[in-house]
Amino acid sequence: MKAIKDSVHDHITLDPVAADLLDTPAFQRLRHIKQLSTVRLVYPSASHTRFEHSLGVYHLADRALSHLAVDDDTAAHVRAAALLHDVGHGPYGHQTERVIMRHTGRHHDDIADLLPATEAGTVLEDHGLDPDRVAALVRGEGDLGGLVSGELDVDRMDYLVRDAHHTGVPYGTIDHERLIRELRLRDGQLALAEGNVWTAEALLLARALMNGTVYRHHVSRIAGAMLDRASERLLAHESGPEVDEFARMADHGLLVALREHVPDLGARIERRDLYKRAVWAGLDEVDAALADLSYDDQRAAERDIAEAAGVDDHEVIVDAPSRPGIKESNTHVVVDGVVRRLEDASELVGALRATERAGWRLGVYAPEPVVDDVRGAALDVLGVRATP
């Protein structure tokens, strides 16, 4: 058994399957994809990668399985799925996920087509594991799919503590050992054992605090929106990559391609010379329809605002996130012997849902010299009752 020293979990021991998967190109590529993508433009020490995060997820899955009554074959498939859960990510992780989805309809959790075409699939078969079954677990399917991708998944447990460690922001520090020990399989679903409502609430609170402080920081959102638009222009460029090649790039490869083919945005992202906020408006300051703008609607709004402001189309970015939600509120906990959803057992969920709504922002971004012109045009075109 091979052991790897980890900055969060100390030593991680790999089984023979994991040791072989570690050396495949698909997994080694994760060394070159930063876990926090554009967040590292805010927190300089957040330079950790999806490679180390995936090792952490594998470790926590292995720990969780030791507390669950699972046969060896099922456990082996779950451990493999935990290790491989992020190999479907494109460069900059979630920041290019929507680009890839718009062009392929494929989510990063959908690795069913990826595994057979890589050495990782061969490794799984050589060890008697079914790549399709592993891919299904990565999608969150089956009784134990929720351990890899669900409300109580080990993915969330690792990235919260790891991101807190590397950013220096303590809000993601959770008692993941208790979460793992208290997991139970009840009626074909994962649930926390009796007496753990507060344990689930702590996970929920940590996620909400990290959302506001780290994951949705306005600088990261601006950089992410610029990266989205730059990636679309790269894919549309006559010398740019095909989408499948784009999806297999690493972070540095994308930066090189953007610098060459989309130099105005590519150079800005690389130098952290970012657009500024022209509009930053909450839910109570916008019409309800603005919280449901499709990507095409956002691009149309950009063109309208640019025309009204007398600037180039590429100098306006409209960033309308989806309505806030709390996936973890569906976590299952045992209360008085009955499996219940956390939102039905905790008064904290309602308060955090209100906090998430209060933190939602519609953003309109532009280069600093034209911010004032874009602000006036955006307020008029979008009917926003706000200034930054």
Q: What is the pLDDT of residue 386?
A: 59
To which H or E segment does residue 163 belong? Answer: helix 154-167
Provide the Cα torsion 20, 23, 29, 35; round to 10°.
Answer: 60
**294: CB partners within 8 A, 6+ apart:** none
The closest of 238, 49, 292, 14 to 159, measured between CA atoms, is: 49
Q: 74-92 b/e with 16+ CB inside 10 Å = b?
A: bbbbbbbbbbbbbbbbbbb
339 phi/psi in degrees, rounded to 5 = -75, 120
The alpha carbon of 38 is separated from its chain's Cα centroid by a whole number of angstroms, namely: 12
Question: Comparing 96-100, 282-286, 346-350, which segment has the lowest mean pLDDT?
Answer: 346-350
**Domain range annotation of the chain:** 2-168
CA dihedral 170, 171, 172, 177 (to 10 degrees): 80
In this prediction, residue 388 carries a pLDDT of 52
How high is the pLDDT of residue 316?
A: 98
Cβ atoms of 251 and 32 closer than 8 Å: yes
Q: Mean pLDDT across the stretch 31-58?
A: 97
Residues β-bridged to residue 189: 186
142/18: higher pLDDT: 18
- Domain 2-168, architecture per CATH: Orthogonal Bundle (1.10)
Residue 323 pLDDT class (50, 70, 90 cuts): confident
Mean pLDDT calculated for residue range 190-205:
91
Tokens standing for 97? 């996920």
Q: Using the predicted structure, report yes or no on whether residue 344 has a pLDDT greater than 60.
A: yes
pLDDT for position 361: 94
pLDDT for res 2:
86
Structure confidence by residue, pLDDT tens digits, 119-161: 999 999 999 999 999 999 999 998 899 999 988 899 999 999 9
331: confidence class by pLDDT, cuts 50, 70, 90: confident
- Ranking 62-71, 130-139, 328-337 by mean pLDDT, the lowest is 328-337
The single residue listed with the structure tokens 């594998």 is 58
What's the mean pLDDT when you consider all of the chain?
94
Confidence of residue 341 (pLDDT cuts 50, 70, 90): confident
For 32-41, 107-116, 313-322, which range has the lowest pLDDT when averaged over its residues?
107-116
Give tens-digit pLDDT for 280-302: 999 999 988 888 899 999 999 99
Nearest to 149 by CA among 180, 109, 121, 204: 109
